[in-house]
Chains A and B, each alone.
Chain A
């Protein structure tokens, strides 16, 4: 079973920041937080991952709370192409450990 909880859906205005929350209150010390997104009828696309420090890349920022029980994915300037299902996944850093997908959050970016 997925170890994360996400809202089922969110809307965001085009050009504004999209903040997607994720709860992972049972996360273990060796588990990372990964974010993927899936645009309709495509395979999941990697966005970002982190352990405890905040991370930023060209796609997004990941903010992890100090107790690591929750995190927020931030898309700084959402575009219509960011409309997708976003998955928050916790995964141990053991090679071969699979990625368990929950229902995710369906983000709709509105014009």
Chain B
């Protein structure tokens, strides 16, 4: 099956610094990727939809200036958490859909655990 890889798998950063998370589709092209956030014992919550070559679409309540998304190619989307604070500590997960396919499953990365200290 198709593989989506996230990097890093975990990261610890100091409060006030920025952290970049990469999401790559390894063996397929993805025009659209999704970024989710998951707090302990909760379900995944969609943060934004990342579209290759255009601006991301953010869900209500998600600050676009804090969570910068760049989808520069058909195989790579990045999420940058700017000026991170302890409340941003969470499990961040990306997913991708094969380009041009509507009725198809989304493939998820393994997730990135961010801890802000």
Contact = CB atoms under 8 A, between A and B. Distances in A.
Interface of A: 32, 34, 36, 38, 41-46, 49, 51, 87, 93-104
Interface of B: 1, 4, 6, 31-32, 34, 36, 43-46, 49, 51, 91, 93, 95, 97, 100-103, 105-111, 113
Contacts, number: 60
Contact of B105 (A34, A87, A100): A34
30 contacts: A34-B105, A36-B108, A42-B110, A43-B4, A43-B6, A43-B93, A43-B109, A43-B110, A44-B44, A44-B93, A44-B95, A45-B108, A46-B107, A49-B105, A51-B103, A93-B102, A93-B103, A94-B102, A95-B32, A96-B32, A96-B51, A96-B97, A97-B102, A98-B34, A98-B46, A98-B49, A99-B46, A99-B106, A101-B36, A102-B43
Contacts of A103: 43
B113 to A, nearest CB: 7
